[in-house]
């Protein structure tokens, strides 16, 4: 198994890099790395280094850097804006969004959202995103934005080349009929289990969103996110 560890960009420039206390603990106590073992370090902003474990202690793991390289930034920004579902479903969405190439994830509260805001959840969500990035070797760490109200996010939709909003109301077009050409900044809006309200969809459309359907079946919110991101990854990435 190839081990990938996030590291501070400044440490990545040193001959011998020291990993953070949290990452060092994970490597030493969970993965039980040993001196001489190979490891890949990345800073989440395209910087990558092949390294070899130099020393392992209770407080720090040090790695000698052998080679460095830079992975280009994704050419397409792919942002997921989603109403937060139940915890297990949301954690699945976070994992799969990272795997499927989302560059930004914006959790939102809508009129039908049942999730109750809890500041402590943000830290757990960030760890899920980081773990997914490490496992999938995502070299540009996606941005996980703080939870926000949907109506506060809507004005930002005008800054995208393409915004798609999943909708069960009339007036949608099939996902397959969307024109994806020349799109460099794209957002996908996914509602809660009860869908967006008609007013929320109308507000999104008023700010440039295109309402789309996902076929004849009604998909659960986590399935809709994974389906939509998969199509966008195929078309754009």
Residue closest to 20 by CA, chosen among 2, 43, 3, 38: 43
**Does 1 score more than 70 pLDDT?**
no
Distance (Å, rounded) from C-alpha 201 to C-alpha 166?
Answer: 9
* Claim: this prediction has a pTM higher than 0.85: yes
Task: Count other C-beta atoms under 10 Å from residue 59's C-beta.
Answer: 9
Residue closest to 142 by CA, chosen among 187, 221, 77: 77
Radius of gyration of the chain, Cα coordinates, nearest whole angstrom: 20
When pLDDT is averaged across residues 48-57 and rounded to a whole number, the result is 96
> What 8-state DSSP symbol labels residue 71?
P
Distance (Å, rounded) from C-alpha 24 to C-alpha 31?
Answer: 10
Residue closest to 105 by CA, chosen among 85, 125, 134: 125
pLDDT band at 159 (very low <50, low <70, confident <90, very high): very high
Distance (Å, rounded) from C-alpha 107 to C-alpha 109?
Answer: 7
Asked if residues 51 and 39 have their Cβ atoms less than 8 Å apart, the reply is: yes
200-207 contacts at long range (C-beta below 8 A, 24 or more positions apart)? 200/110, 200/111, 200/150, 200/151, 201/165, 201/167, 201/169, 203/151, 203/154, 204/154, 204/157, 204/163, 204/165, 205/165, 207/154, 207/155, 207/157, 207/158, 207/163
Residue closest to 147 by CA, chosen among 94, 83, 221, 78: 83
Q: What pLDDT, on the 0 to 100 scale, is given for residue 215?
A: 87
When pLDDT is averaged across residues 159-166 and rounded to a whole number, the result is 97
Contact partners, residue 26, CB within 8 Å, separation at least 6: none
- C-alpha distances (whole Å) from 152 to each of 161, 199, 204, 234 are 19, 14, 11, 30
Q: What pLDDT, on the 0 to 100 scale, is given for residue 2?
A: 85
Domains, the chain, with CATH or none: 4-70 (2.40.240.20), 77-236 (3.40.1280.10)
Q: What pLDDT, on the 0 to 100 scale, is given for residue 59?
A: 85
């Amino acid at each position: 198994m190839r081990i990938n560890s996030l590291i501070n960009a400044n440490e990545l420039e040193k001959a011998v890099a020291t990993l953070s206390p949290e990452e060092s603990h994970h490597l030493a106590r969970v993965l039980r790395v040993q001196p001489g073992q190979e490891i890949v370090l990345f800073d989440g902003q395209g910087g990558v280094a092949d390294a070899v474990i130099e020393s392992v202690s209770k407080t720090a793991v040090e790695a000698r850097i052998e080679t460095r390289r830079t992975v280009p930034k994704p050419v397409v920004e792919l942002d997921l804006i989603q109403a937060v579902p139940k915890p297990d479903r949301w954690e699945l969405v976070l994992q799969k969004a990272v795997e499927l190439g989302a560059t930004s994830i914006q959790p939102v509260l809508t009129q039908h959202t049942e999730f109750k805001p809890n500041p402590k959840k943000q830290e757990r969500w960030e760890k899920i995103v980081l773990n997914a990035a490490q496992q999938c070797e995502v070299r540009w760490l996606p941005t996980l934005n703080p939870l926000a109200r949907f109506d506060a996010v809507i004005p930002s939709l005008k800054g995208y080349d393409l915004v798609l909003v999943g909708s069960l109301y009339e007036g949608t077009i099939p996902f397959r009929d969307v024109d994806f050409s020349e799109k460099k900044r794209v957002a996908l809006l996914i509602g809660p289990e009860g869908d967006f309200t008609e007013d929320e969809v109308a507000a999104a459309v008023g700010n440039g969103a295109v309402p789309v359907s996902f076929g004849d079946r009604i998909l659960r919110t986590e399935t809709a996110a994974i389906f939509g991101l998969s199509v966008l990854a195929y078309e754009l990435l």
